[in-house]
Structure 1
Amino acid sequence: MAASTGMNMSTNRTGLRAAGYVFVGALGIQASSAISSTMFSDLGSPAVSSIRLLIAAVVLLLVLRPRVRGISVRQWFNIAAFGAAMAAMNMLLYASIERLPLGIAVTLDFLGPAAVALVLSRRIREAIWALAALAGVVLIAGPGGYFDLSGFLFGLGAGFCFALYTVFAEKVGKADDDSIATLALSVAFAAVLSAPFGIPQITSVSAPQWSMLALSGLIGVALPYVVDTLAAKLSSARVIGTLFAIDPAVGSLVGWVALGEQLNALALTGIALIMVTGAVVAWTTASTSTRADTGSRRGSPRPSTADHASALDPGDPAPSTAGRV
């Protein structure tokens, strides 16, 4: 009994850590977006997105020093796909933010990982929580909000790339024990893909703007992608996809505080619903995974790797992602 209780506490802490990593990443991304939006009129959103990726890639490569030998073809594919997804997601999201309020753009962006959580849910309860998160997103967007066709299309495109990001974050995060360093290769790949949009504008960047771009790259790219990968090592794509529901909440709050975007009662209700949903999913999924894994040791069929993944202790080796998602 004591051992079982200890295991439950350990896996619950693991789920809460995953939620904490996602929150830190969300705060960094939305604060970075607010900073970056002040440079859109001078440099354009594509250039701002590209240059901050370049800065983040250089920092991550210097700090993490990833190995390039011994990486399989499958791993290179996942690294490249992750990088392509993050490059496209950043470019499209910033194009949407250039045309829409931050909270609305981030809400559209969230629809991608929310769809992943719904599609990959294997239990009715998890699907219900994903739907609850979507309900919160709808409340944040609210009736009578802003509408710009190109802004909405860019936001939905970012959401599609965010869905791919959610899946490949898990694949890269659980590929090996050196996945955090490997992340630098994905960011570098993203920077190379977006470079044609940023390099032509480099001579137009002023000294104060370089400082802002550096800060934006560190808190909006380097930090979030590291903590997102850590979260992916502790959980599965469907759980992380639901936890990303915190992004619209944080985006709306940052938009209100930093950019003066007003929040109505419906938006505040949506924020509360999403916050509760993220916390409950992180807590209950870890507990369910522990019970399923315990049952398998008692002679019942072994649970799938996806179910077992969310019960991983950080000291345990990450499982192979082959055949998953």
Structure 2
Amino acid sequence: MKKHLLLLVALIIATSASAQEFYVSASGGYSISSAGILTGTSLNDGQTKATNHYGSYGEGTNFQFRVGKMFNKTFGVEIGFAYLHGADQVIDSYDNYYATSVFPIPNLGDSDPATLLVNDVTKGNAHARAYGLSLAIVYNFNEHIYGKFGAITKVGGKTEATATNVVNVTLTENVYAPAPAPAGTIAIPAGTPIKTVTTDVEQEYHGRVPLGFIAALGYKHAISDNLNFFAELEYLGINVTRDNSEYTKFTSVDVSHLGAPTTTTTIDQLPSTEVTYEDSVANPNNDPSVALSSVAPYSSFGLNIGISYTFGKK
């Protein structure tokens, strides 16, 4: 690796003597997902059909500003700064499971354990707002066609998620009143809704500093001696590992259908609004402020269109 770096430095020094052009460029474009990672699973309104959703947080509108230096007519180097205004990604999820509980019968005591069906559905979306920095080598195939490849990293930004979670609990079997009620007395019939818990959240996620790969193939056309129009196809390969997150909104309302009082939990009542993500967590169920990390895909294919201005060209 050290030999390669020394060779690159020597090449830059050698070609700097014949350096020809210094340029700046500005462009805008749109990127589509190239990762195909599962972001969520949605249900139709009747909850009879589930659909997987795949995507990348790199999808969306981007704006780029670049500064470049051509060492000769063929080779150059370019530094770029970009902003991504990501498109919404579906993060819906659902789960059905069974639980057991006992129910107090007025003036009679507790019932025997009964089975409950818990329907847990989350509907939400998330999008990225990210700033990136890239360094690439530029190669001109001819006067119009060029290519470039290099490295890219994220230097700021976040992923914003908004979701509503609804948990419906339903009794799946009859609850019989205990003695001294007559045997077989139904206190609560099967199918009775027990409670509904609705939670609205907004959460911001921040990631560790990543390193990815960028490559592009473009076409440029001279408008004047110093001004060029260009269009390029760009591939971005990068993933961001989750580092921490913070609730910016949290409201949970627990409504009982059996007469118990409604309870509401707000963000001010949470023991912690921040979560730190680690690669290894001891006793993960004991501390809600620490969780296992995961990787968010940002890879994309994009089309950029812009103009560049070359200084010192005669």
Q: TM-score, normalised by structure 2?
A: 0.21
Normalising by structure 1, report the TM-score.
0.21
Of Structure 1 and Structure 2, the greater strand share is in 2
Higher relative contact order, structure no. (Cα contacts within 8 Å, ≥ 6 residues apart):
1
Q: Which has the higher helix share?
A: 1
